[in-house]
Amino acid sequence: MESIRVKVEDEDKALQLIWSLPSSFKHLQPTLMYEKETLSFEEFTSMLFSEERRLKGNESFGENSAMVVSGNISFNGFKKGTCWSCGQSGHYRSDYKAGKGNGASSVRGSESDTDKLATVTSNDGDEALLVVAADGFRHDRGWVFDSVVTMHSCRNPTLGRKLFDEMPNRNTSLYNAMIRCYISNGEPWEGIGVFVEMVRLGLHRPDNYTYPFVLKACHDLSMIKMGTLVHCRVLTNGFDLDIYVSNSLMSMYISCGEKEAARRVFDRMGSKDVVSWNTMISGYFRNACAEEALMLFDQMMNVDEDVGLDGTTMVSVLPACAQLKDFRRGRLVHELAKRNGISTHTTVRNSLVDMYMKCGCLREARLVFNETRGRDVVMWTAMIGGYVLNSDASSALALFPSMQLDGVRPNSVTMAALVSACISLSELRHGKCIHGWVIRCSLQSDVIVETALIDLYAKCGCLDYSFRVFEKSSRTRMVPWNAMISGYVHNGLKAEAIKHFKQMRVEEVEVSAATLISLLPAYADLADIQQAMNIHCYAIRSGFLLKIEITTSLIDIYSKCGTLDYAHKLFDEIPGNDKDIISWSAIIAAYGMHGHGEAATLLFDKMMKSGVVPNEVTFTSVLHGCSHAGLVNQGFRFFKSMVEDHHMRPRIDHYTCVIDLLGRAGRLREAYRFISTMPFEPNHAVWGALLGACVIHENVELGEFAAKRLFELEPANIGNYVLMSKIYASVGRWEDAKNIRNITTEMGLRKSPGHSLIDVRNMEMHPILSSV
């Protein structure tokens, strides 16, 4: 384009211009360029068309015409033009080649037809005007129309269809061009319609270029039934061994979630290229089969060594390694990428950072990050999100200024990750700064960002700010409603959470399982059996009870309402194979909470026999049950099994359960010695358990020691003073008890009144307050 001094920024227009230059251009150029250094595309085409009309008015519309399609009068000059149009339509037609031997000096047709074609195209602007009018045409020269439809339908399906409908003699290539046009412009339904018309008329058979286009439309629409019908025609017409058709079939089946059907197509393929392997590997990962994806990758390396790896292979395999936290295999993939010279690709490097972060390998991720030049927003976001994921929120926030200095504009995912970092650190001030950046980047209406901001303010106790963000959000979207419900529950506002849920239903916002998972803890805290039954009925009616998470939450609700029989009935209704560690922990905790320690231990043993491996929460539940039932030996057995059999490092809540267990059993000195063996500093829960045991067994010495620690850790907690006063009173030290009471009065501490609810005939809840 520089040689003809025409400024064209759009590649398609440049190609149109190149193939439209007349053979007489070298004579026209001085006139067109008079007193101008360069011409724009619009100026050039306007002048060229004016020259065309002048020539036509002089009846000299011939080989020097300004609008000859290829710029040559002989078919021999169509080599480049033919390749270009075939590349656009996906079909190299044999009759294109046949024209090469034709020495005709022109392709003249009827004047009326030429005028008609010029009229059809000239009404659609300069872009349609170029490369359309030929020096006449004949109906048997379909390649002229193929080129016209292909070139002008790339961006304008309406124009392409108009040209298509005007053509008296269509062929398979024309149908391919029209189908491709619709699909490329986001109109897959129309593309399928052209295919159905082609099959219905029966004049032209679809070929191995037609089917990939149609299958792409089925892929975009997730039309498994239509895709299956197309597959039947592929088999009938003998195109099932064509590698491009097979790849398209696999992609269609995978997008519809039919990975088994895709695998059958894959296994039937005689030869496979890298696209075949990549399609199947990424398909397994997208359908939550990461292990199968990696197994297929291993097979690709071992069976088909001739297939070269590319960036797409790496980007398909590395997320599977990340999901499985398979650092060893991820490192091998990294080495393979280096060996094949593709480790420097931006997408590969982004996937490497993401994989290392999700595997907890922060040093390796930082190394890849530091070695990368021209880091994009995806890589910065992967690093920031990775630090948050690995509980290093400070490093995540520290990266943001560097990202700004690097001139990279954050996106919604970046901002959501930064807000999550602020939540982890309870940094309201930083969170407000990030909120300001969100507004500056015009991302406040993004659902990911607004949900994160609602969560931030709620976790920091600023529900009024949360509600302001919620009010400005789109109230038709479910996620902000869920975040607001979670915020109310987090701040102990059970009634507000339930009220918000009811308003959500009034406004007919879609309710999901995630909504109920956020809401159900509010019902658990209410401990109202009638309300529990109401939400249970709603879960059944809405079909959410099939979700194991919902059932587990209902077990917790019923246990806190004191109805263990309902809780156990729900647990028994869960199919055996679906009972996971969370549901087992919930039912064990239910029995432990109500002092049924033996039942809790029996359930724990039954869980172990079923093959479910306990986690830290399960051990907390069973130890709690042993504590309430006074099962000291069983409690120590579970604590020992946790360390020796399951190789877990006990948390402070496990030590607290054992101390409570020993204290309730009257073994106070042993409990005190156990505290001294803890690998970390005792907290208020540990000393509180010891002080509570001293109240039961009237041990003044250890009680004073535990109380002293609690007064230092929780000086404003009146409960600790009350317990110490009770110990003094139980042994007759009334003066000391009075002194403790006086201290609380001087400090201005007041005991909150007790609050109970009585359900009268399942109709109304009556509160009873006590200040004792």
At 474 the pLDDT is 80
CATH number of 651-772: 1.25.40.10
Which token pair is 589?
């905790």
Q: What residues are paired with 759 via a beta bridge? A: 765
The series of mean pLDDT values per 10 residues for the chain, 772 residues long, is 55 52 54 58 60 50 38 34 39 36 36 39 38 39 52 66 80 88 90 92 89 94 93 91 93 94 93 92 93 93 75 93 94 92 92 96 96 94 96 95 94 96 94 94 93 96 94 88 96 94 94 94 89 93 90 93 92 89 93 90 93 92 89 91 91 92 91 91 92 92 92 89 91 90 82 63 53 46
At 32 the pLDDT is 54
Task: Report the run of H or E that residue 114 belongs to, with start and end.
Answer: helix 111-122
Nearest residue to 589 via CA among 618, 615, 632: 618
At 304 the pLDDT is 60
Alpha-carbon dihedral sign for residues 664, 670, 671, 674 = negative
Backbone angles phi, psi at 141, to 5 degrees: -100, 75
pLDDT tens digits, one per residue of 429-485: 999 999 999 999 999 989 999 999 999 999 999 999 999 999 998 888 899 999 999
Q: What residues are paired with 764 via a beta bridge? A: 760
At 749 the pLDDT is 72
Cβ-Cβ contacts under 8 Å for 127 (sequence gap 6 or more) = 13, 16, 152, 155, 156
Distance between CA atoms of residues 629 and 624, nearest Å: 9
Assign residue 595 a region: left if phi > 0, alpha if psi is -120 to 50, beta otherwise? Answer: left
Distance between CA atoms of residues 438 and 609, nearest Å: 52
At 567 the pLDDT is 94
The residue with tokens 């970390």 is 680
Q: What residues are paired with 760 via a beta bridge? A: 764
DSSP-assigned states of every residue in 587-634: HHHHHHHTT-HHHHHHHHHHHHHTTPPP-HHHHHHHHHHHHHHT-HHH
At 745 the pLDDT is 85
Q: Could you give the C-alpha distances from 771 to 152, 378, 546, 656, 750, in angstroms and in order?
A: 84, 58, 44, 29, 10
Nearest residue to 507 via CA among 475, 459, 532: 475
Which token pair is 771?
């200040």
DSSP state of 135: S
State pTM to two decimals: 0.70
At 431 the pLDDT is 94
Distance between CA atoms of residues 39 and 41, nearest Å: 7
Nearest residue to 621 via CA among 673, 537, 721, 552: 552
